[in-house]
Structure 1
Amino acid sequence: MKILFKSLVLSILLTSSFLFAQSISKATFLVKGDCSMCKERIETTAKKSGAKTASWNADSQKLEMEFDSTKVSADQILKNIAEAGHDNEKYKADNSVYEKLPPCCHYEREPSFLKKTISEQPIIKENQFFVRGNCSSCKARIEKAAEIAGADSSVWDAETQIVTLNFNPAKTSADVILKKIAEVGHDNEKYLAQEDVYKNLPSCCLYDRTLPFGVKSDLVHSDENPTPKNDISSNQDQHEKSIEEVRVTKLLDPTALNKKEVGLTFNINSKELLKAACCNLSESFETNATVDVSFTNAVTGTKQLKMLGLDQKYTALTKELLPSIRGLASPFGLNLIPGRWIGGIQLTKGGSTVVNGYESITGQINTELLKTGEKPETALNVFADVNGRFETNMTSTSNLNDHWTQSVLLHGNATLGKTDSNNDGFLDQPTGNQINAAYLLNYNDLEHSGLGSHFGISFVKDERFGGQTDFDKKIDQTQQSAYGVGINLSRFEIWNKIGYIFKDKPYQSIGWMNQFTTYQQDSFFGPRNYFGNQNTFYSNLIFESIIGNTNNKFKTGASFLYDKYDEDYLTENYKRTETVPGLFFEYTLTGVKYTLVAGARTDFHNLAGTQFTPRVNFKYDLSPKTILRLSAGRGFRTANVFAESQQYFGSNRQIEILGNGGKIYGLKPEIAWNYGASLQQEFKLFNRKASLVADFFRTDFQDQVLADLDISPQKLIFYNLNGKSFANSFQTQLDVIPLKNLELRLAYKYYDVEADFMGGQRQIPFMAKNRGFFNASYSTEKTAKDAFWSFDSTLQLIGQQKLPNLNSNPTEYQLPEYSKSYVTLNAQIARNFNKNIRAYVGGENLTGSMQNNPIIDAQNPFGNYFDAGMVYAPIMGANIYVGLDFKF
């Protein structure tokens, strides 16, 4: 029995000695990286270096790991990670190693994560502790708190961030004193100050809470310092102390060209959207050089986008990567997404991925709705302009728990003013109102269970009335003597996206997205009526993985699109149902300096037949600051001739469709090939970062539905292309920061767009060959209360445009062959009073450029020559607006 007891004691002692011989440390470090390949490399290096666990997150740039400090130091692990090519808090990777990383791994190296190293921290003695602070006021507060907690004396040094305590252990303890110091607002190595206490310190006392203990803060005049975790344990040996968690926030450019993307993709964030009024999506591109925005006609007040010299209908417009503005919603859908709901926009020129569908020809514009950021926020915006337009937006984002977040988005607007600036008897813009609401629910547990989900539901109702100033919407249309326009829209959407990342396989995932949309339009344009209804169901299943290693990735899956259309134009009814199941596969090859993305999809369209859509994108890094991109691809779509030509409904043109045996209005689908090349160059100008991008794209139509305005001024004739149709687009853009806080953007665009019409080859009307663009943004330095001014201005030069041939009209109702060039200027001044209140005032078309007589024969709207669709310039003069933003 004694032998058994001795054996048990010996076993316990041996086990205890083994356990105590291990010193498992947990630490978090900042390590730079960008993608799943970086994640694999960082975690593998850490584990090979001795870490027991290692988990790196690309969004936060944080590496969390556990290691036995008796066997390996954090210093050695970070050194090995740098040798593998990744900058971190203590070591910077060698340039030659960084350059050899795959292009997708070329993270931004500035600003650097390097902080004062452990070895550089002051060595502390017994009864010395690290306490954060800044100034003499901090010193007085810290020493007073120590005295209250029972210290006989204390001395705090701002440079070393050390407090030296002299106390009687019989009366108090270091723990009690440090706790009291935290209660008055000063973080220390054992306790953290409460957030509300810290925020109420004088501005001169606001220290940097992200720095390692022992590193002196620069003076901070902000309450935006992140709060560290509250479970800081005492550290007995400062020599082996791990570097505290550091958080560095990179200020994103308002519009940034993504160097990692294979395609020419611009990321537009909320800062860019605040440079202009941005009341809806159509106005979100006023400060963007890539997209052209213009009025469609003189009676509806709607705006349309053009990209690469072609109409909006050839660009895929998605929301949350789901089909959004298409089909019958094309003419007015941009007005149904409020600008203050937008969290960001991704704009891709040229052929986009086959994963998102077949309709993209000139590019894709994806809108992301506002979601919960790092902290909950409720915002209120009110807006008004001199033309009687009023708008209110309320957005609220919040965390329900650790995994669930929600967004509530509300919008309402009303146009009450009746303006007729050119005295032609017609309203410059319609009156009316809109009510819009959306709810988003998000689940994110990707790091643990691998699951993520996004749910959304929205409803909008919009009603507009325009036409002659004496038109009375209360009188029945059949009894009106005045020409009126009425447009009543409603749309309901519900969607869900769910994704799963396979455990221990961050490169492998599966996602499924579904959406149902119903869109209704009831409208009249003088004596003609148009009613349209579209019900759409969309589903897309995507599986992503690798072939061998992460240099060879692929996406594959299946999609299904269902469209049911029901339209009435005058006395004719047009119904059709389109069902389109499809399959796709996309392969990504990543080399040291290049990335290739090649994909293809096959769609089985019940009316347009089987369609094969290949697309390829190639990016080559000629140097770290010089990037060449090439793209080619095919796209197809079915034309909605009535909905997409409503800008000409405000006229007395008769519509004719010359069918050729197709199953959609008797017409064949539209098919086009797009080819593109671009060169991106980054360099230093005025010793500051600058970039130059030049791109050329060509679109060749294999089939196209042409809208011919030239055969007769009294007709609009649709027919399929018989011959050639092409669009050449060249753009060069320079972004430069000549002075601190001053950003300049200059761009020039050239378009050559022609087609073989029935009367011969000619230019597409309403497309200026030459366009110039200049944007300047400046902001003052932030003051202690986060107050600052910002100034933004955008100048655009629009060259001559080919106009439709109206020569068979009487002379007074004809147009010249080409329009005159004109210049527009938009500007805005904003004042941020603090972090939560912002006021702004701005102006649109401050040059007062206006088209003379935008409505042909406005005095006789029921006559043969009346036409409000010949718009090539602004129809309204200068517009002044004001607004207020509040955040809670």
Structure 2
Amino acid sequence: MKLYISRFILGLMMLSVQFISAQNLSKNQFQVKGNCEMCKSRIETAAKKAGAKTAVYSVDLQTLTFETDSKTSADEVLKKVADAGHDNEKFKSTDETYKGLPGCCHYERDLQPNPAQAHQQHAKKDNEFYVKGNCESCKARIEKAAKTAGADSAEWSAEKQTVSLHFDASKTSSDKILKAIADVGHDNEKYKTSDAVYKNLPGCCLYDRDIAFGEANPKVHFVEETKHANHSESQPEETSGNHDQHEKKIDGVVVTGSKAATALSKKEAGLVFNIDKKELLKAACCNLSESFETNATVDVSFSNAVTGTKQLKMLGLDQKYTSLTKELLPEIRGLASAYGLNFIPGRWIESIQLTKGGSTVTNGYESITGQINTELLKNAKEPETSLNIFADFNGRAEANITSVSPINDKWSQTFLLHGNGTFGDTDMNDDTFLDRPKGTQINAAYLLNYNDLEKSGFGSHFGINFIRDERTAGQIGFDKNLAQDKQSPYGVGIDISRFQMWNKTGYVFKGKPYQSLGWMNQYVYHQQDSFFGLRNYAGKQHTYYSNLIFESIIGNTNHKYKAGASFLYDGYEETYLTDDMKRNEIVPGIFAEYTLTGLKYTLVAGARADFHNLAGTQFTPRLNFKYDFTPQTILRLSAGRGFRTANVFAENQQYFASNRNIQILQNDGNIYGLKPEIAWNYGASLQQEFKLFGRKSSLVADFFRTDFQDQVLVDLDRSPQQLTFYNLEGKSFANSFQTQWDFTPFKNFDVRLAYKYYDVQADYLDGRREVPFMAKHRGFVNLAYATNKNDKGGFWSFDTTLNWVGKQRLPDTGSNPAEFQLPVYSESYAVLNAQISRNFNKKIRAYLGGENLTSYYQKNAIVDFRNPFGNYFDGGMVYAPIMKANFYVGLDVTF
């Protein structure tokens, strides 16, 4: 016992010594010129040789942050850095030393003067300081406060979160100006506003007080320079009796990146999650269907046993009720519904915005359960080309090349190329059917961007995309080159060609940054030729979409509005067996949306009217309301209506590989004889942020209900040999409850826990039943850990996700022979995915992962697989994984 006590006391003494030593260190930050990783290494090495205890150089910020003790001065460190070839605030390198640096290290030698020296001169000088804010109201308040405090001019940038000051140093100071800015409610790098003043700002001005500045959302830490002062130095009267005082002053700002991989926006009135590339790298993420493996909001169904397709589900309803857009343009809909998720490679994605519940009316009328928007790579300050290579242990391989480069100060371009192939015969459950299709895809896109918003007010974005996808599935041994009736193995063939072209152009009115005009246009051609055994399905789709949006204010920025008009044309040609079906949908529409921002609330109310040539005039109102009880406690309410036309063949291809005959019970509608689908969605959510283990933590609970006014029901229960479509007569609803907790127990370790409850029921022809393949209970755990970066920027990261899925109601197969019957409910199961990645530096990353590490798989994925042309064959009854554990490797290289 005495030994443990002595060790404990010794440990305390060592910690005390370290603490006292740390108190005697001075932290400094200075401007130092450099270009690359070689510069970073050279500068940090020189600083440490000069006596700096720590040294961190940022190439992006052009700053060196270092700690020194009483034996070493900042000047000594900066002199040593200059001797190594790097100009800084106090010393300049010799021309000879500079010229001797490697070519990649030759920086521009137009260094700004030392701010401390310039401050001593009685002359006007431009200064830039970090200041927090949100909107135009913030801008006006900040600039007015600065001028009141003596600044000759002041310009605040919302994008950079900085204020540029021009003042006469003999009449005022930056400290005085920044103090005045803090007094009116805006935190900055030297002063923090009081809670009372901050809470009295208008709701639109309530910025995040934990996350600071710039596009990467870095955190700003106030750095204190500590000097020992003895009794002889002048001290304030109240401290003159002390023999050892600490004189503290803020000497600089240390900026460190801290952007969350998935973040719930606190500004939006709706429940909007922003997902960036960091989140997508946590899993294989070969395409959009795999981009949500680490996301608790979206449920991803497992691949169909015959066609290999995956579908998303949100709020307990199928993917077709969620608006899936790319660059805010309609994307995965119509004939692309079944396979469209495979057409957006994961490495092409820059970010994803996921909205639960009713979204804005400006993006159309089809959103019922929410919207998922994908933004492609198109932003880069410097040319950047990346190569990604991926392969799994069962014959799947992929390659991606992305290149983003500025052409000049206004133009930039992006080249995107993707290719994948599945070549192996994978049959883990020994049913003679491939667990996933074989085939190839070639996918190429080119993006051209123009940005001159600051000068002329114009910006434009152009894109073009071509896809060729060929898949073969079915029994092992099937030959796609032979007709199905010429061979005994059952086969599936799916060939898709897709071409699209789009443009978005915007204009911001001069002197009115709150007023803009935007126009979006897109053309899509989609063709599919496919067969499922002896059944054939083919389709062509031509789509033209146009959307014009005008945005401005009423009086001030607390009252904003949007108004505009849209046009949608869909031309469909479909063939199923011997039936040819054609239709044209023509939909002009108008819309308006009003945003009211109060002290603690935001209200967004919108409505649109669409004049559908086949579905009639449809009115779509939507409302989102956010109330901030405190900056950490936020309540949201939403309500809205949406409608869509059902593409019953394209959206249900997973059931084509079966013996089911398709029957449509027409109901005097104009689309397959059916009426359009109309639903109301209502939601409420509560977001609470708090500190746990001294770190930021958040808890979100939400409830959504969807009530269908009209719905096209997909009835799998009337007979195992029949697939029936008909309009709802009665009620159909989906209740969704989710709670999610994100926290960080310790540095670099993130935990995400979630629970979901679904109650989804509909009145079918023979009574009310639960909708099949929808688990009432789901659990989710995601753990992510990363090591600290080394001197070269390298680190390890570890990610694992556990999904628990409760029992699901299965379609009624009671009339089948006993050996071909499914249970009424499936069993519950868990799926574990994990990945380890190694970043060797900023340029090279390797990763190794495993999917379904629990190796749980559905043993009866295909009913009567021995007789695929018989009455009981059915490949659409999938509720769980059909493949056991699968492992993959990948490599990312950036040039």
- Inter-partner Cα distance in structure 2 for 1:253 and 1:399: 27
Unmatched tracts of structure 1, length 5 or more = 1-20, 123-159, 161-211, 217-245
Shift of 1:678: 0.5
Q: 1:641 aligns with which of 645, 648, 670?
A: 648
Structure 1 residue matching 2:201: 3-state secondary structure: coil
Q: Is the 8 A contact 2:303 2:881 kept in 1?
A: no
Residue identity opposite 1:508 in structure 2: Q
Could you tell me which amino acid in structure 1 is paired with residue 602 of structure 2? T
User: 2:691 is matched by which residue type in structure 1?
Assistant: K
Match of 2:606 in 1: 599
Find the aligned partners of 1:47 and 1:506 in 2 and give their Cα distance. Answer: 21
Matched with 2:306 is 299
Shift of 1:109: 2.2
Displacement of 1:687 in angstroms is: 2.0
Question: In 2, are the aligned partners of 1:297 and 1:648 still within 8 Å (CA)?
Answer: no
Q: Please tell me whether residue 392 in structure 1 is matched to residue 407 in structure 2.
A: no
1:873: which partner in 2? 880
Counterpart of 2:867 (choices 853, 860, 874) is 860
Q: Deviations over 1:538-593 (max 9, x none)?
A: 11111111111111111111111111111111101111111111111111111111
Matched, 1:79 2:184: no
- Partner of 1:41 in structure 2? 141
Aligned-pair distance for 1:448?
A: 2.4
- The residue number in structure 1 matching 2:814 is 807
| Alpha-carbon distance in 2 for matches of 1:445, 1:73 | 34
Q: What is the correspondence of 1:22-37 to structure 2 with a 5 Å cutoff?
A: 23-37=123-137
Distance 2:804 2:144 in 1: 54
Which residue in the other structure is 1:548 paired with? 555
Contact 2:380 2:406 in 1 (8 A): no
**Could you tell me how far 1:792 is from its partner in structure 2?**
0.4
Question: How big is the shift at 1:247?
Answer: 8.4
Aligned ranges 1:337-486 → 2 under 5 Å: 337-486=344-493
Tell me, yes or no, if the aligned pair for 2:742 and 2:751 is still in contact at 8 Å: yes
CA shift for structure 1 position 113: 4.3
State the alpha-carbon separation in 2 of the partners of residues 683 and 119 from structure 1.
31
CA distance in 1, matches of 2:223, 2:852: 52
Match of 2:522 in 1: 515
What is the rounded CA distance, in whole Å, between the counterparts of 1:833 and 1:268 in structure 2? 24
User: What does residue 198 of structure 2 align with?
Assistant: 98
Mapping 1:596-745, distance limit 5 Å:
596-745=603-752
Conserved in 2, the CA contact under 8 Å of 1:266 and 1:347?
yes
CA deviations 1:709-749 (Å, max 9, x no partner) are 11111110100000000000000011111111111111000
Is this contact kept in 1: 2:381–2:405, CA < 8 A?
no
How far apart, in 1, do the equivalents of 2:803 and 2:188 lie? 44
- 1:200-244 deviations in Å (ceiling 9; x for gaps): xxxxxxxxxxxx9x958xxxxxxxxxxxxxxxxxxxxxxxxxxxx
Decide whether the 8 Å contact of 2:223 with 2:254 is kept in 1.
Answer: no
Q: Give, in angstroms, the shift of residue 383 of structure 1.
A: 0.4
The CA deviation at 1:46 is 3.2
Task: Describe the SS at the equivalent of 1:429.
Answer: coil
Task: Measure the CA separation in 2 of the matches of 1:597 and 1:543.
Answer: 16
1:39 positional shift: 2.5
> In structure 2, what is the Cα distance between the partners aligned to 1:54 and 1:502?
22
Q: Does 2:507 align with 1:500?
A: yes
3-state DSSP of counterpart to 1:644: helix
Structure 1 partner of 2:238: none
2:126 is aligned with what amino acid? K
TM-score by length of 1: 0.82
Q: Give the aligned residue type for 2:471.
A: R
2:204 is matched by which residue type in structure 1?
A: C
Indicate which of 801, 805, 809 corresponds to 1:798.
Answer: 805
Q: Give structure 2 stretches of 5+ with no counterpart.
A: 1-120, 213-218, 230-246
Partner amino acid, structure 1, of 2:548: L
**Equivalent residue for 1:152?**
none
Counterpart for residue 817 of structure 1: 824
Note if contact 2:679-2:707 (Cα within 8 Å) is conserved in structure 1. yes
Matched residues in 2 for 1:276 and 1:543: separation? Answer: 39
1:480 deviates by: 2.7
Partner of 2:766: 759
Q: Aligned to 1:575, which of 582, 585, 601?
A: 582
Tell me, in whole angstroms, the C-alpha distance in 2 between the residues paired with 1:480 and 1:51: 85
Q: Counterpart of 2:870 in structure 1: which amino acid? A: G
CA gap of 1:82–1:513, structure 2 versus 1, over 3 A, is: same
Distance 1:104 1:759, change over 3 A: same
Provide the residue aligned with 1:177 in structure 2: none
Q: What SS class does the counterpart of residue 332 from structure 2 fall into?
A: coil
State which of 313, 331, 355 in structure 2 corresponds to 1:324.
331
Cα RMSD, aligned residues only: 2.1
Deviations 1:327-349 (A, max 9, x none): 11011000000000000111010
Percent identical = 70
Name the stretch that deviates more: 685-694 or 594-603: 685-694
TM-score w.r.t. the length of structure 2 is 0.82
Q: AA paired with 2:546?
A: S
Query: Residue 330 of structure 1 contacts residue 643 of structure 1 at CA under 8 Å; is this kept in 2?
Result: yes
590-599 or 446-455, which deviates more: 446-455
Task: Provide, for residues 145-194 of structure 1, a one-character-per-residue CA deviation record: whole Å limited to 9, x for no partner.
Answer: xxxxxxxxxxxxxxx9xxxxxxxxxxxxxxxxxxxxxxxxxxxxxxxxxx
Letter paired with 1:391: E
Q: 2:188 aligns with which of 73, 76, 88?
A: 88
Equivalent position SS for 1:647: helix
SS of the residue corresponding to residue 481 of structure 1 reads coil
- 1:36 CA displacement: 3.1
Taking the aligned partners of 1:85 and 1:66, their CA distance within structure 2 comes to 21
Q: Which shifted more, 476-485 or 785-794?
A: 476-485
> In structure 2, how many angstroms separate the alpha carbons of the residues matched to 1:563 and 1:277?
34
Alignment match, 1:67: 167
Structure 2 Cα separation of the partners of residues 119 and 793 of structure 1:
43
Shift of 1:52: 4.3
Any idea what SS the aligned residue of 2:865 has? coil
| Alpha-carbon offset, residue 757 of structure 1 | 0.3
State the partner residue of 1:750.
757
Q: CA deviation at 1:845?
A: 0.3
- Paired residue secondary structure (2:827): coil
Q: Indicate how the Cα distance of structure 1 residues 248 and 483 shifts in structure 2: closer, same or farther if over 3 A, else same.
A: same
